[in-house]
Chain A
Amino acid sequence: DGGITQSPKYLFRKEGQNVTLSCEQNLNHDAMYWYRQDPGQGLRLIYYSQIVNDFQKGDIAEGYSVSREKKESFPLTVTSAQKNPTAFYLCASSPIDVAKNIQYFGAGTRLSVL
């Protein structure tokens, strides 16, 4: 089945630690996105990528980093510089096509601080 797989489902971070969230898609989509979801704030864009080896900052990129070495994969690293990382993180992908411009979402990773 085609889709977006995020792992792990739950993740705990210790003080000063970097953690990496995985996002893999087999939809052959060019674009991939990372969002952060906090209660009452909707989804906010962290980073996005429209092509391999290229990515752009979103609205809240500070304290996060990404890579796009393969079309299928777009991992997000939450660095120790992110002082408030507790949130639900969602990965999405979409074709780069006006007619098919729909973002498809993974099931999310819930990150908590120990």
Chain B
Amino acid sequence: AQSVTQLGSHVSVSEGALVLLRCNYSSSVPPYLFWYVQYPNQGLQLLLKYTTGATLVKGINGFEAEFKKSETSFHLTKPSAHMSDAAEYFCAVSDRRASDYKLSFGAGTTVTVRA
């Protein structure tokens, strides 16, 4: 079974500072990797995904993530935080060997942005 670990359930950053959210997966075969964002009382919205090819993936709202096979990681970054980035962020994986495309989610990281 796919497993995802997000280090840090809460992250607080100053406006304009770097945002770094950590995600590690446990799988012998690198899975498909996703980052989703959730604003309060809403559904999830895809930020970016990695399936194959270039390991640095750019997403919406200035976010990007880098797949590092040697570290089994897919950390999410944004160079400069904005107040609107305050939300909960989920890393998710999907087994590329499976045909059901099920997602396994990490526990989530809540980001607060200080003015």
Q: Are A101 and B100 in contact (CB under 8 A)?
A: no
- Expressed in whole angstroms, the minimum distance between the Cβ of A105 and any Cβ of chain B is 3
Q: Are A108 and B103 in contact (CB under 8 A)?
A: no
**Known contacts being A40-B107, A43-B90, is A58 close to B43, with CB within 8 Å?**
no
Task: Output the nearest chain B residue to A3 by Cβ-Cβ distance.
Answer: B43
Interface 9-residue window, one of A14-22, A66-74, A76-84, A90-98:
A90-98
Nearest Cβ on chain A to B89's Cβ, whole angstroms: 11
Q: How many interface residues does chain B have, given as a range?
A: 20 to 34
Total count of chain A residues near the partner, CB < 8 A: 30
Contact present for A42 and B51 (CB under 8 Å): no
Tell me if A94 and B101 are in contact (CB < 8 A). yes
In the bound complex, residues from chain B placing their C-beta under 8 Å from that of A94 are 101
B107 touches A102 (CB 8 A): no
Distance (Å) between the CB of B40 and the closest chain A CB? 11
Cβ of B61 within 8 Å of any chain A Cβ, yes or no, is no
> Are B90 and A48 neighbours in the complex by a CB distance under 8 Å?
no
Which residues of the partner chain A approach B100 to less than 8 Å between Cβ atoms?
Answer: 48, 50, 56
Q: Which residues of chain B are near A104, meaning CB under 8 Å?
A: 46
Interface residues of A (CB under 8 A from B): 4, 6, 31, 33, 35, 40-45, 48, 50, 56, 58, 90, 92, 94, 96, 98-99, 101-108, 110
Contacts A/B (CB < 8 Å), 13 sampled: A4-B43, A33-B103, A40-B9, A43-B103, A44-B105, A45-B103, A56-B100, A92-B43, A98-B51, A101-B49, A103-B46, A105-B44, A108-B41
